[in-house]
Amino acid sequence: MKSTRKRYSTEFKIWAVKTCFDYKSVRRAADKLRINKNSLQHWKNLFRDGNLQQTAGSDLDRKETAILQKELKNIRLERDILQEGACLLHQGRRARYLFIKENTGRFPVGKMCRIFQVNPSCYYKWLKGLSTSRAERRIFITSEISRIYHWSEGRYGSPRISRELATLGIKACPSLVRKIMAEQQLRWIRKLKFKRTTLCSPKYPTAENLLNQNFKAKTKNQAWVSDITYIRTTKGWAYLTTVIDLFDRKVIGWSLSRGMKAMDTSIAAFKKALLNRPLLSDQKLIFHSDRGIQYASKIFVYVLSKNSQILQSMSRKGNCYDNAVAESFFKTLKTELVNRDQYKNRKQARKSIHNYIENFYNTVRRHSALGNLTMEEFQNQQIRSS
């Protein structure tokens, strides 16, 4: 009979023990993390005796650790908010509103509203009622624009900031946001011009262009696009391969490699995409790319041909617009991240790109192709309309 006992990684155990120190109580930490108190006490004893040490784990362990570290950061933030305003839990709504207003610069408004069980739109309506003066309202909007701009690290322009304000119940059209940004000298990063990086060879056969610049997909796994770009480090070049689903523009698979072999680039990214977004039995997928040798090689064509649900498609020769979505992502990545950093080595580049894709681009970034919605908001919208 297969055991149902849950297993935890060493990184998780160490992180859980450190959480005990933050809460100064094994029981409280165990309740918060939803794990057995006795197990947590045992891990704490092992850590104290030096028998619980962190080792180099797998990609899955590192991903889990990153998620847990993010959760720990949220837990600490919630703890700090509760320490400051614990007495407000038994007071009226006005007292909670005043606390949120006074601590806006210290803590995120959304998190304070959730902890004190306050509807954000109600809070902003109350706040708007206080700011009867037009000048006071403009000062408040300016502070929110500045906060969102710095939160996005300068990646958001006026349309995305305007949309972000709207989700908070603050009405500010893009033209007003653009004017305030100019006054505050908040300059968003502009994309660079496209540079051709594809290496193709006439000795490899090419596939028909089935996509034909139709970058709209009604469902997941209808069409994927893929491409490869160069990432400079002081230790040499790294090669980033991505696979994007045209339905929600999510990067569903990517690989950062030392070399340009198909096994390390196109095949590695394709396999990760299949793992993250597997095909259903009734789905037919178009896999589109340029004519690079990593996609035209016999080994990659063979990997695709093993799945009868997948049809290969390639751009026309020298036409970068046939793969515009993949090219656009690389321009965004390099503008918002890569060109702002100087990577010492490939390990540093991998960590930076992983954080950008998994914790920003695929989660909270607003996309113009989706009507300036986040991917989660877009998917929820599709579910409601179906």
pLDDT digits (tens, 9 = 90+) for 244-254: 999 999 999 99
What was the pLDDT predicted at 4?
A: 59
Q: How many CB atoms lie within 10 A of CB 361?
A: 22
Q: Is pLDDT larger for residue 301 or for residue 166?
A: 301
Would you state the pLDDT for residue 220? 93
- Report the pLDDT value the prediction gives residue 5, as an integer from 0 to 100: 63
Closest CA to 207 of 284, 298, 291, 268: 291
Distance, CA of 14 to CA of 66 (rounded, Å): 13
**Distance spanning both ends of the chain, measured CA to CA:** 42
Q: Record the tokens describing residue 4, joined without a space.
A: 């149902």
Q: Give every CB contact of residue 258 below 8 A, 6+ residues apart in sequence.
A: 236, 238, 239, 264, 346
Mean pLDDT, all residues of the chain: 83
Are the C-beta atoms of residues 374 and 364 closer than 8 Å to each other?
yes
Among the listed ranges 27-41, 64-78, 229-243, which one has the minimum average pLDDT value? 64-78
- Count the Cβ atoms, other than its own, within 10 Å of residue 18: 13
Separation CA 11–CA 307 (nearest Å): 37
Instruction: Name the residue with higher pLDDT: 298 or 48.
Output: 298
Indicate left, alpha or beta for 372 from its phi (over 0: left) and psi (-120 to 50: alpha).
left
Query: Do strands 236-245 and 223-233 pair parallel, antiparallel, or not at all (unpaired)?
Result: antiparallel
For residue 294, the SS3 value is helix
In this predicted structure, which of 129-133, 151-155, 156-160, 225-229 has the lowest mean pLDDT?
129-133
Where is pLDDT greater, at 175 or 92? 175
pLDDT band at 226, cuts 50/70/90? very high
Spatial distance between the Cα atoms of 42 and 227, rounded to a whole number of angstroms: 48
- Most confident residue range from 57-71, 94-108, 301-315: 301-315
pLDDT tens digits, 75-127:
777 788 777 777 776 777 778 888 888 888 778 888 888 888 888 888 887 77
Query: By percentage, how much of the chain surpasses pLDDT 70?
Result: 88
- For the segment 152-160, the average pLDDT, to the nearest whole number, is 82
Residue 10: its pLDDT value, please?
A: 77
Q: What is the pLDDT of residue 104?
A: 80
Using CA atoms, how far apart are residues 271 and 263, in angstroms rounded to an integer? Answer: 10
Residue 201 is predicted with a pLDDT of 54
pLDDT confidence of residue 63 = 66
Given the structure tokens 């496209």, which residue do they identify?
A: 194
Instruction: Name the region of 286 (left: φ>0; alpha: ψ -120 to 50; beta: rest).
Output: beta
pLDDT greater than 60 at residue 55? no
Going edge to edge, which strands form the sheet with 236-245? 250-257, 236-245, 223-233, 285-289, 310-314
Q: What is the pLDDT of residue 200?
A: 53
Calculate mean pLDDT across residues 356-365. Answer: 92
Contact call for residues 230 and 237 (beta carbons, < 8 A): yes
User: Quick one: tokens of 41?
Assistant: 């006490």
Specify the 3-state DSSP secondary structure of 279. coil
Task: Give the pLDDT score at 194.
Answer: 45
Nearest to 197 by CA among 361, 331, 302: 331
Contacts by 7-10, CB closer than 8 A, 24 or more apart? 8/35, 9/57, 9/61, 9/64, 9/65, 10/52, 10/53, 10/54, 10/55, 10/57
Mean pLDDT of 201-219: 83
Higher pLDDT among residues 129 and 122, named by residue? 122
- pTM passes above 0.85: no
For tokens 């594809």, the residue is: 198
Task: Note the pLDDT tens digit of each residue in 273-295.
Answer: 999 999 998 899 999 999 889 99
More confident residue, 65 or 296: 296
* Element holding 1 (H helix, E strand): none
Whether 376 has a pLDDT exceeding 80, the answer reads yes
> 384 has which bridge partners?
none
pLDDT of res. 61: 60
Residue 195: what pLDDT?
A: 47
* Helices 324-336 & 346-356 angle (0-180, nearest 10): 110
How long is the chain? 386
| pLDDT level of residue 1 (50, 70, 90 thresholds) | very low
Cα 358 from Cα 381, distance rounded (Å): 21
